[in-house]
Structure 1
Amino acid sequence: MRTGLLFLLFIITYNISFARESADKGTIKGKVLTTDGKPVDGASIQIKGIQGEFVSGEDGVFNVQQIRTGTHTLRVLLIGYAPATLEVTVKKDEVTQVTVQLEVTHQQLNEVTITAGYNKFNKKETDDIARLPIKNIENPQVYTIVTKEIIKEQLATDYNSIFKNIPGAGVPIVYNQGRSALLARGFVTANMIRNSISGFVYTNIDPANLEVLQAIKGPSGTLFNSSQISFGGLFNRVTKKPNEARKGEISYSAGSYNLNRLTFDVNSPLNEEKTVLLRVNGALHSEQSFQDAGFTRSLMLAPSLVYKVDDKLTLLLDVEASTFNATSPIRYAPAKNGKIKNIEDLGMDPKRSFTNNSLDYVTKQFNTFGQINYQINSQWKLQTNFTRTFSTTVGYVSQLIGISDSTLQPSIQKENFPYNGTEIQQNLIGDFKIGKLRNRIVVGFDFYNQRSDRNTPTALLPVINFKRPGAAYNNINADRVDSIAATAKYDIYRTNQSTYSVYASDVINITSKLNVMLSLRADRYVDRGTYRPAFDTASGAFSQNALSPKLGIVYEIVKDKVSMFGNYMNGFNNITGQNFEGTTFKPQQANQWEVGVKLDVLNHKLSSTISYYNIDVSNMTRVDLDHPDFNIQDGTQVSKGLEAEVIANPFSGFNIVAGYTYNDSKMTRSDKSIEGLRPASSGPEHLANFWMSYRLMRGAAKGLGFGIGGNYGSSSFQTNTATFVFNIPSYTIFDATVYYDKPTFRFGVKVDNLTNEKYWSPRLAPQMPTRVTANVTFRF
């Protein structure tokens, strides 16, 4: 009886409290418009102190019901627009009407995770490409940005899989230490740039600290260090930075081949004024190979700190440290005396690794990036960037050398390779007028140094039959390698190179629709040669000077929506050595001209870039036929082609990104063995990619989403000479995902390589068969 009375009293008290709480609430009804009065679909409305977000509809309208009375702070966000903040007072049982106007901005809202039905794959606005605040539509350079939204939607658990979304990137080339490279306009392009300056480490890169991945196309030697890029472009990984929100997430992925992956991302202000901001990202990863041996295990920790000293001065420190333990990826060099000319016909079992888990290596890296921004006044800003990189590899890396159509010889290298890099960069950035002409200018200088030390004996193991290896397969192990390496020759040496550069770039608005970009870089390269401690001597020391100009013209046919552009760009590569007469070689020069069109229409729902380029590389070296022990420098290569990218949001919840590239690359003057032929390193002539996804925006299943994508590459060459050709077949792969995404949690399942396609990398490494990954993420 007493219990019943207590329960009845609790119910009465609860209902009185609930009624009072409900009575003290009201509604906010708002409309989000652009500055020209057009409704904004998919804007995110966040209310301070209230968990979750609200989204504007196609008419720009949003409703927030049952919100407590009092004054609330609303923040309205949408990519491509400056965030709007306003105070709204809610009264009891009343509807408060508000109208919010968003202004276009060049700033990219990287810190915002918006799950609404906007064009979430369209985040083209960034200062990184030109180092200036110019929009994509007025930038004469072509680039692709892979957003964090698409990275999360595709459940990317490794860095290289993100490149599926970049037109023309192709299948990744994974080197012995886990580092990777891909294609850009027919040239092999390594991953050497982080936060727009040097970030190259001889190891695997974990994607947990990645905000966006930028692919900047063409020889970009004017604004980026020439020793860090290729003639086809560069890949810039932009890391996550602290912001003023107090939030975090923890995510766990499990999948095929014993994949176990735990990541976390925690962001928080450290003081009430929100002038000190901390963000920490981390990842713990373990996975076995799909082959009979092989594994990867890694740990990454990435803290970053922002200190807003005052309204003018901001300091950033960003650190990324990791350790990576793995077995060497496959690299196969086919036998030149064999009759089989295609990896598919060779009959090598893709599930055989030709290694042993004892033949592993450990890499460690410590990458520090710092930035100082000082706003001198409304027109001028000083920016200082610096980075220190360290990585080291200790262990075994391997290569498989083809002897015949059925035999190979493992070549195992015992590697001890520390690598150190330093880059310091100072920029002065201005936005001012001379007469009626607006000028946006960056002037800077750059110092870069890298030093490496090597200690690398090589052990050649006995030849085995790769189709029927038998007991000999067990001899590929660390004990056998150590016994052979004990009597092998050790080659111990050091390299040390420095680059000193000054540069300037100015975007001049001739009219409101016509702008011209003029850029120039002067570069001094000093190579101290290869130093061998045993003899206390250095050989091959040299120095070179180079100039790299850039010219771009953009005309906006429809202001901020449609533009035509053209560019002339230059890049260079320093070359060691001398010809027979003793003349030092000049730097290789790549000159590109390009024309195209850019679109950003239908309220950012459709963005596209289509261009045609021609890259002419001169000063290439080739064998001097009259003096075979020397080279001459008169070789040329031409790489030309078409690139197209489309990013679309046809209707609410449906997003598409797609790309196509055609590349025609040819050695126009070179050794007779390759003259007139397509270089094997240029990859497939045709490459295509797409990803499309749909998420339910209303109803009981709101948050449920589906995605499907694919990649195609035409046939290519591992080797292509007049005397020997070895082919890599074309490939078509499909991936798919299903997920359920809410403000506080997310579940997802992804299937890679749905059709279990057999395909290979340019190094003839077999690629991953069908793989299933499941993920759960909690946000707080």
Structure 2
Amino acid sequence: MKRLILLLLFISFGELLYGQSTGTISGDVQDEAGNPLPYASVILQGTSYGAATDEEGGYQFTAPVGNYTLIVSEVGFTSLKREITVKAGQLNSIPLVKLKEAQEVLGAFTVRDQKSEYKVEKPSESLRLNTSLIETPQNIQIITGELLADQQVIDMSDGVLRNVSGATRLEHWGNMYARVNMRGSRAAAFRNGMNITSSWGPLTEDMSFVSHVEFVKGPAGFMMSNGEPSGIYNVVTKKPTGETKGAVNLSMGSYDLYRGTMDFDGKLSKGGKLLYRLNVMGQSQNSFQDYNFNRRYSVAPVLDYQLDERTKLTLEYVYQYAKMANVGSAYVFSTKGYGIYDQRATIAEQGLDPTMVDDHSVTANLQHDINDNWKITGQLAYFNSAQEGSSMWLRGIDENDRLVRYVSIWDAINENAFGQVYVNGEVKTGAVNHRILAGLDMGTKEYIADWSQAHNLDTEENPFDMNDRSYGTPANGLPQFDRTKSLKQRANTTVISQSYSGIYVQDELGFFENDLRLTLAGRYTYVSQSSYGTGMEESQVTPRVGLSYSFDNQTSVYALFDQSFVPQTGVLRNGGDVKPITGNNMEVGVKRDFFDGRWSTGISAYRILKNNQLVPDPQDPDDPDDQGQYSLQLGQTRTQGVEFDARGELTKGMVLILNYAYTDSEITKDSREDFVGNVVPGFAKHLANGWLNYKVVNGTLKGFGLSAGFTYQGDRTTWNWSADTQRALPDYFRVDGGLFWENDNLTLRANVFNVLDKYLYSGTAYATYYYYQAEAPRNARLSVGFKF
């Protein structure tokens, strides 16, 4: 008994001594939206003391007294370090830790058996919103890099739009740039949060350096500079991840497609303060049409430097080179209708000089965490795209489809510079939570082009006969353009420039533990611009009000009202000034996640009233020398519709994307009474897409999979005005599919496009004739990828 008492006293004394030399550490870990992060790692640097967070994001463990660096990390999030002191015998409460989602892996890249994630939770930092998608009072769809790779998408013009409701592409422009329309008009093109839209640009981004693409429906001008009320698409480029890894992909396919990409990611300093990412691409491709081709390569290095624990500098350079056939050579002309000639028909000539584009961009991004709740971001960027080439059209056509083709010079420089500073913060006043966004945007744009020289390839006596096509010896010979003068001297008045600045502020007020959210925002924008020798200055305040409510963490409803202000460039036939677009957008929607958040759905209904929209002047064809030069300004248009989007994982290994959009756009007010009630050209009334990807996750066939998808467009309007007696575009239906096999390192993928081998095209009736561009018949791509 004495020995037992002595042993108990010894143990108690030891516990007392240990308690006096240790302390307990506890706290909570959340994401930026305030959601708990279970299973996050919390550890004291250089020791084995630590714990994983529980289901509610909390943690608690004991460690010896002393000063430590606490490291909190989670897959898909940027790790956080915090200096702490452990005091003897005390409960050391650590302030709430909020982890930021890593840019390079997207907001909701969760590790599961299904490697290719199609669903994400939050937009990129370049959209500036510190809110999850399900809580945002707006329709925002994100197309992940994994999905684009599964579909073997090559560039922004190559199938991206099938993954989002209501988005269509108008004209092809030789893959020079992607003209995206949604909700009745052109969507502004953004890259990393900067509006790089120009009259003919930007150059289509190659997917080799793209992380993901974000589609923001409805006005986003209050935070994203000037943008159409129809919405924007934001291309987000790849950034360093801090992991040492790489990937190589080789592809080949129909029409002499040969393509290679390399992606290197890693550390340039031992401690990881200096990171890098390098993406390289080279591609050669011909066409199903003779004399059409595309040669491209790109180089995109990125450096991340961690200046201190709270400050990071990112430097990025992107260079793209494109060499392609004459822009416009894919068009086919006929007085009889669409699809008259076989898909291989072309008006191109083999001896024409190619069009070449050198596209550069440099971006510097500085981010500083003021504290755990406030962050400031600054960004400067310069874009320069130089083009030398030509375009093609017709001078005239007779009833037997014999035409006189002409080639005009098309040299251009597209130069942009941008500066942005914005702050994100979160603060509480009583029971109300505030998510603050405020910032300054500035930018200048200049587009200079020379279309002043033109050359007829054919003569009226010896026209080009679409029924008996002969190439190589045009009756009037090939053009010889004079480039002895500089482009600026040749361009004369063909200069489009814009300078703008804007200040914006937004407060998202959260009530009832942030279940009810009221968004109040506004923007002041000043714009000075000139086009074709005419100038204007405008300024306007545009408000924004949104309301959203979460029934639970997987269901929300929202309502939104906002306005837009978009200066336009163009030439009116009467010589008048072009007024800016002003518009109102009203939208309501429901968002719902299923299967523990793996599959997301959303449905929205909207109405956009837009004033002063520019459209092509239907009288243009009366003067062939002025074709495409003049615009027509409408009074007011109304676009309304319903959109449905669903994406994510249905069951283990099965991923499904579905979307549908009903769109109706018409002129509601105009001084020309005969215009009221007319449909505004450039949309499909019914548009539906689907994509299914299934992979075997167990058994002998593990890693094997298949995919299939479709695109349907019904009640298509053309991209131009047409007479009542002219034909409408037929409905559009396309099916694609493929097979793949993959393991941890190797991926083999084969896709077939236009499986049903349909004759697909888009086009318009124009004056007394039709012109259209055909899509490729059935074709295929095979790729081999290796990760290391």
Counterpart CA distance in 2 for 1:556 and 1:292 is 56
Which residue in 2 is equivalent to 1:307?
305
The structure 2 residue matched to 1:433, chosen from 420, 428, 431, is 428
Q: 1:390, 1:419 within 8 Å by CA — same for their partners in 2?
A: yes
Counterpart CA distance in 1 for 2:79 and 2:738 is 31
1:335-388 alpha-carbon deviations (Å, 9 max, x no partner): 7xx5x4x413xx133212211243221001001122100111122211001111
Asked if 1:258 is matched to 2:256, the reply is yes
Which residue in 2 is equivalent to 1:461?
457
Letter in 1 for 2:774: P
Counterpart CA distance in 1 for 2:636 and 2:243 is 53
Which residue in 1 is equivalent to 2:645?
645
- What secondary structure sits across from 1:369 in the alignment? strand
Asked if 1:442 is matched to 2:457, the reply is no
Counterpart CA distance in 2 for 1:454 and 1:36 is 51
Question: Which moves more between the two structures, 401-410 or 735-744?
Answer: 401-410
Which residue in 1 is equivalent to 2:711?
711
Which residue in 2 is equivalent to 1:452?
447
- Cα distance, 1:658–1:576 mapped onto 2, change above 3 Å: closer
Which residue in 1 is equivalent to 2:555?
562
Counterpart CA distance in 2 for 1:131 and 1:478 is 56
Deviation at 1:744, TM superposition (A): 1.4
Deviation at 1:118, TM superposition (A): 7.0
TM alignment of 1:245-284, pairs within 5 A: 245-284=243-282
Asked if 1:348 is matched to 2:341, the reply is yes
Q: 1:286, 1:298 within 8 Å by CA — same for their partners in 2?
A: yes
Letter in 2 for 1:136: L
Q: 2:549, 2:557 within 8 Å by CA — same for their partners in 1?
A: yes
Which residue in 2 is equivalent to 1:500?
501
Q: List alignment gaps of at least 5 residues for structure 2.
A: 1-30, 42-70, 82-96, 620-629, 765-771
Deviation at 1:594, TM superposition (A): 0.5
Letter in 1 for 2:515: K
Asked if 1:773 is matched to 2:781, the reply is yes
Which residue in 1 is equivalent to 2:166?
168
Counterpart CA distance in 2 for 1:369 and 1:385 is 7
TM alignment of 1:575-654, pairs within 5 A: 575=568, 586-620=579-613, 635-654=635-654
Counterpart CA distance in 1 for 2:708 and 2:636 is 41
Letter in 1 for 2:193: S
- What secondary structure sits across from 2:347 in the alignment? coil
Deviation at 1:674, TM superposition (A): 3.7
Letter in 1 for 2:599: L
Letter in 2 for 1:371: N
Letter in 1 for 2:526: R
Q: Name the TM-score, length of structure 2 as normaliser.
A: 0.79
Which residue in 1 is equivalent to 2:134?
137
Deviation at 1:78, TM superposition (A): 6.3
- What secondary structure sits across from 2:752 in the alignment? strand
Which residue in 2 is equivalent to 1:545?
539
Q: 2:416, 2:446 within 8 Å by CA — same for their partners in 1?
A: yes
Counterpart CA distance in 2 for 1:453 and 1:667 is 32
Counterpart CA distance in 2 for 1:444 and 1:460 is 52
Counterpart CA distance in 1 for 2:633 and 2:164 is 34
1:73-99 alpha-carbon deviations (Å, 9 max, x no partner): x999667x88899xxxxxxxxxxxxxx
Which residue in 2 is equivalent to 1:699?
699
Deviation at 1:470, TM superposition (A): 4.0
Q: 2:117, 2:146 within 8 Å by CA — same for their partners in 1?
A: yes
- Cα distance, 1:231–1:724 mapped onto 2, change above 3 Å: farther
- What secondary structure sits across from 1:480 in the alignment? coil
Which residue in 2 is equivalent to 1:668?
668
Deviation at 1:206, TM superposition (A): 1.1
Which residue in 2 is equivalent to 1:92?
none
Letter in 1 for 2:589: G
Letter in 2 for 1:573: V
- What secondary structure sits across from 1:736 in the alignment? strand
Letter in 1 for 2:146: E
Which residue in 1 is equivalent to 2:62?
none
Counterpart CA distance in 2 for 1:371 and 1:321 is 18
- Cα distance, 1:774–1:575 mapped onto 2, change above 3 Å: closer
Counterpart CA distance in 1 for 2:309 and 2:776 is 50
Counterpart CA distance in 2 for 1:633 and 1:258 is 44
Which residue in 2 is equivalent to 1:370?
364
Question: Which moves more between the two structures, 173-182 or 295-304?
Answer: 173-182
Asked if 1:150 is matched to 2:129, the reply is no
- What secondary structure sits across from 2:212 in the alignment? strand
Deviation at 1:438, TM superposition (A): 1.0
Question: Which moves more between the two structures, 133-142 or 573-582?
Answer: 573-582
Q: 2:127, 2:224 within 8 Å by CA — same for their partners in 1?
A: no
Which residue in 2 is equivalent to 1:421?
416
Letter in 2 for 1:321: Y
Letter in 2 for 1:527: Q
Which residue in 2 is equivalent to 1:66?
none
Counterpart CA distance in 2 for 1:651 and 1:39 is 22
Counterpart CA distance in 2 for 1:152 and 1:176 is 22
Counterpart CA distance in 1 for 2:562 and 2:594 is 27
Deviation at 1:391, TM superposition (A): 0.3
RMSD over equivalenced CA pairs, Å = 3.6
Counterpart CA distance in 2 for 1:361 and 1:436 is 61
- Percent identity, aligned pairs only, is 22
Question: Which moves more between the two structures, 565-574 or 242-251?
Answer: 565-574
- What secondary structure sits across from 1:728 in the alignment? coil
Deviation at 1:224, TM superposition (A): 1.6
Which residue in 1 is equivalent to 2:392?
398
Q: How many residues are matched?
A: 675
Counterpart CA distance in 2 for 1:357 and 1:520 is 54
- What secondary structure sits across from 1:223 in the alignment? helix
Letter in 1 for 2:209: N
TM alignment of 1:76-155, pairs within 5 A: 107=101, 110-111=104-105, 116-117=113-114, 120-128=117-125, 131-155=128-152
Which residue in 2 is equivalent to 1:758?
759
Which residue in 2 is equivalent to 1:731?
732
Q: 1:203, 1:364 within 8 Å by CA — same for their partners in 2?
A: no
Letter in 2 for 1:432: V
Deviation at 1:575, TM superposition (A): 4.5
Which residue in 2 is equivalent to 1:208?
208
Counterpart CA distance in 2 for 1:205 and 1:731 is 26
Letter in 2 for 1:375: D
- Cα distance, 1:716–1:528 mapped onto 2, change above 3 Å: closer
1:495-531 alpha-carbon deviations (Å, 9 max, x no partner): 332011111111110222100111111111112454x
- What secondary structure sits across from 2:372 in the alignment? coil
Which residue in 1 is equivalent to 2:743?
742
Q: 2:98, 2:372 within 8 Å by CA — same for their partners in 1?
A: no
Q: Name the TM-score, length of structure 1 as normaliser.
A: 0.79
Which residue in 2 is equivalent to 1:12?
none
Letter in 1 for 2:422: N
- What secondary structure sits across from 1:222 in the alignment? helix
Deviation at 1:773, TM superposition (A): 0.6
Letter in 2 for 1:449: T
Asked if 1:677 is matched to 2:642, the reply is no
- Cα distance, 1:320–1:474 mapped onto 2, change above 3 Å: same
- Cα distance, 1:84–1:667 mapped onto 2, change above 3 Å: same
Counterpart CA distance in 2 for 1:211 and 1:221 is 23
Letter in 1 for 2:364: G
- What secondary structure sits across from 1:377 in the alignment? coil
Which residue in 2 is equivalent to 1:159?
156
- Cα distance, 1:252–1:154 mapped onto 2, change above 3 Å: same
Q: List alignment gaps of at least 5 residues for structure 1.
A: 1-33, 45-73, 86-102, 531-538
- Cα distance, 1:575–1:284 mapped onto 2, change above 3 Å: closer
Q: 2:604, 2:643 within 8 Å by CA — same for their partners in 1?
A: yes
